[in-house]
Amino acid sequence: MLDRIGPAHASAPMAFLSDVHGNLAALEAVVAELQRRTISDIFVAGDLLLGGDEPLEVWRRLAQLNARCTRGASDVALATVDPRRLEAKSDSERAMLERFAKTRAAVGEVVLRRLGALPQQLRLPMVDGRELLMVHGSPGDPLESMSHDLEEEELAALLDDDPADIVVCGGSHVPFERPVLDAQLINVGSVGEAPEGRVAHYTVISPRVDGAIVEQTWVEY
């Protein structure tokens, strides 16, 4: 599923987040920084609810913020997989399955349907004439992450000849920015499960006629 935001061109600073994973404290820390900076346009590249203890509260907060979201791998799983049909073969798998079932029960059927109906991609025309694409994983496979440790050829293959000039993604939990072929690739890291511990990543993109300014940063919580 594709979703194009428009017809207006983006001209104000925008915040791009990903991988909140049900971590309300981390999300609120980012939101506080965005409010301090008077940034109200928020985009989230999936993996919204599974992992933390407050998935329903995270969903409600994102709705309150009018955040525009794409679905990630865990979002698809929550919306489509019945945990009663899964079998755990180890203690770690059993714990993951219990977390999965608990999250589904906490958010309820209405949210699960809405989660599954989120778009796979969002496309945004920029004021400089370029196009921005947001996807959880990659244009070639929304569930396969474009991580910082991939070779140039691997990243190029995952771009899959997509025409977007700027590709914003998540999935790998590690933020980075680099050019790949003719595209500007921006992985925005993770709000709720950053590998550094209690920090939350976010990226601000400020469109300009002469090209967008990209700031990748983080906040403690």
Structural domain of 158: 2-220
Q: What's the whole-model pTM score?
A: 0.93
For residue 145, give both structure tokens. 């992450």
> Which distant-in-sequence residues (6+ apart) come within 8 Å of 168 by Cβ?
16, 43, 45, 132, 133, 134, 135, 186, 187, 188, 203, 205
Number of domains in the chain: 1
Q: 77-129, pLDDT tens digit by residue?
A: 999 998 888 777 788 888 889 999 999 999 999 999 999 999 999 999 999 99
pLDDT above 90 (res 202): yes
Closest C-alpha among 57, 83, 109 to residue 20: 57
CA separation for the pair 68, 74 (Å, rounded) = 17
* Cα–Cα–Cα angle for 212, 214, 215, rounded to 5 degrees: 150
pLDDT above 50 (res 141): yes
CA separation for the pair 63, 52 (Å, rounded) = 18
Domain at 7, CATH number: 3.60.21.10
Residue 9's pLDDT is what? Answer: 66
Query: What pairs with residue 205 in β-bridges?
Result: 14, 214
Residue 174: pLDDT band with limits 50, 70, 90: very high
Q: 50-79, pLDDT tens digit by residue?
A: 999 999 999 999 999 999 999 999 999 999
Q: H helices of 117-215, where?
A: 152-159
Residue 6's pLDDT is what? Answer: 47
